[in-house]
């Protein structure tokens, strides 16, 4: 039975949801299209077959905080070519490495810090403690009922067989975190036979919502209203599709599992067949102050809520050129989720959601007895956009504006 105190709050929420959004074209937060560099493969060579021995680590942490990243030296053009070179794992177990060239890139415009490895850049390590991944009140919302789960934007969230989450970014492509398939030293157990899970109904969902919700419900949610939790329906299952290829940037592959570059914690999976769902477009990550309400959003499959899709949004905090820090509540299993924003596309004259980052993991550092904690997303920079877009499109002509 709904408590008396909850009824006024719920009715006021419905009132807010039904109010039409008030905004002029000049006040709308807008996507700013920009010309991006070209990242092209140059030479591909075979590498030794991976071992696939270690299980995927769903909790990735780093001792390098925002100040640590900001102090790191700016990578040179040649550094970036090395960081953006990539490995491709094929479903038959073959492994290749591809060198890349970068064109149309102005190094003076790049503020992307290299990952600070070495004692001069790292925060002081302390005793082992439990990481806080829920900041205060748990602000996550379980999404249930096919009216929500099977419709955009929630339908773009998928589960990986290694335990992570991912986001559909092409007709047969999934963006996820690199640590979901590679531990920094080798490919993890299950990476060769990686599968991607899509939530489907076991039978027709007969659970109807007790209140009518407008078709643009999620648009209001992204505008800042508190989400309404639909009625629970457990009659869902995963349908799995095998991955054909997995691309991982060399910026992640350090050769030492303890020296992890969170700046490059992203990977792209190519499926063996099209998924036939609507996917979300890629976008170059704008500065946090340009995001509507300075908020970011993502949905994933947190381990503490098995079989449930979990949505959350929160205010973006500090940022570097490659990382976005926030306090979005998340548990292991959510890593790899696509972090997105919804803004106005002036060219197409419509609201558009775009993936601007990949949820990576947790950072906890202690300086002079005071602890700092963050959840971290890898931002899609112009160079990363160019690389990921090429992986998806297979050409650079369709990847010049992000």
Any residues with CB less than 8 A from the CB of 185 and at least 6 apart, and which?
A: 54, 253, 254, 255, 256, 257
- Active-site residue flag, 302: no
For residue 117, the model assigns a pLDDT of 32
Tokens (6 digits) for 287:
């500065």
The pLDDT averaged over each successive group of 10 residues in the chain (402 residues) is 39 35 60 92 95 85 73 88 96 96 79 35 36 63 79 94 96 96 93 94 53 48 50 70 97 62 92 95 94 92 89 89 88 93 92 95 65 84 97 94 83
Calculate the dihedral angle through the C-alpha atoms of 219, 220, 225, 226, rounding to the nearest 10 degrees: -70
- Active-site residue flag, 259: yes
What three-state secondary structure class fits 296? strand
Q: Tell me how far apart the alpha carbons of residues 302 and 326 are, in angstroms, rounded to a whole number.
A: 17
Tokens (6 digits) for 239:
């349908």
Q: Which of 69, 161, 173, 179 is catalytic?
A: 179
Q: Which of 335, 337, 360, 362 is catalytic?
A: 335
- Other C-beta atoms lying within 10 Å of the C-beta of residue 295: 18
For residue 219, the model assigns a pLDDT of 59
> Which of 271, 297, 273, 264 has the alpha carbon at shortest distance from 379?
264
Q: Tell me how far apart the alpha carbons of residues 13 and 220 are, in angstroms, rounded to a whole number.
A: 10
Q: Tell me how far apart the alpha carbons of residues 17 and 387 are, in angstroms, rounded to a whole number.
A: 39
Overall residue count recorded for the chain in this entry: 402
Any residues with CB less than 8 A from the CB of 84 and at least 6 apart, and which?
A: 39, 100, 102, 249, 250, 251, 383, 384, 387
Tokens (6 digits) for 92:
């038959």
pTM of the model: 0.81
- Active-site residue flag, 179: yes
Domains contained in the chain, CATH given = 41-207+232-399 (2.40.10.10)
For residue 165, the model assigns a pLDDT of 96
For residue 1, the model assigns a pLDDT of 40
Q: Which of 12, 259, 371, 398 is catalytic?
A: 259
């Amino acid at each position: 039975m709904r408590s008396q105190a909850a009824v006024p709050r719920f009715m006021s929420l419905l009132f807010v949801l039904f109010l039409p959004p008030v905004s002029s074209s000049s006040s709308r937060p807008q996507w700013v299209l920009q010309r991006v560099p070209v990242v092209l493969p140059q030479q591909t060579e075979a590498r030794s077959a991976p071992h696939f021995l270690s299980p995927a680590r769903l909790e990735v942490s780093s001792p390098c905080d925002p100040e640590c990243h900001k102090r790191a030296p700016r990578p040179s053009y040649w550094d970036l070519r090395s960081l953006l070179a990539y490995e491709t794992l094929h479903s038959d177990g073959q492994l290749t490495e591809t060198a890349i060239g970068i064109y149309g890139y102005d190094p003076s415009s790049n503020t992307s810090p290299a990952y600070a490895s070495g004692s001069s850049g790292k925060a002081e390590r302390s005793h082992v403690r439990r990481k806080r991944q829920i900041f205060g009140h748990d602000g996550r919302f379980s999404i249930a009922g096919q009216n929500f789960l099977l419709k955009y934007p929630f339908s773009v969230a998928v589960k990986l067989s290694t335990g992570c989450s991912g986001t559909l970014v092409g007709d047969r492509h999934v963006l996820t975190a690199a640590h979901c398939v590679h531990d920094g030293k080798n490919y993890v157990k299950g990476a060769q036979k990686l599968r991607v899970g899509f939530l489907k109904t076991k039978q027709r969902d007969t659970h109807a919502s007790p209140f009518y919700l407008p078709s643009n419900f999620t648009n209001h949610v992204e505008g800042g209203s508190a989400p309404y939790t639909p009625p629970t329906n457990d009659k869902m299952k995963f349908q799995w599709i095998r991955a054909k290829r997995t691309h991982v940037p060399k910026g992640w592959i350090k050769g030492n599992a303890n020296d992890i570059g969170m700046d490059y914690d992203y990977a792209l999976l190519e499926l063996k067949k099209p998924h036939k769902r609507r996917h979300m477009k890629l976008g170059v990550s704008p500065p946090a102050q340009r995001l509507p309400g300075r908020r970011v959003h993502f949905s994933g499959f947190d381990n503490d809520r098995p079989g449930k899709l979990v949505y959350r949004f929160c205010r973006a905090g500090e940022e570097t050129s490659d990382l976005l820090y926030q306090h979005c509540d998340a548990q292991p299993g959510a890593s790899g989720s696509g972090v997105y924003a919804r803004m106005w596309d002036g060219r197409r004259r419509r609201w558009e959601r775009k993936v601007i980052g990949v949820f990576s993991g947790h950072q906890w550092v202690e300086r002079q007895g005071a602890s700092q904690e963050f959840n971290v997303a890898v931002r899609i920079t112009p160079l990363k956009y160019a690389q990921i877009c090429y992986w998806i499109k297979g050409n650079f002509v369709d990847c010049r504006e992000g």
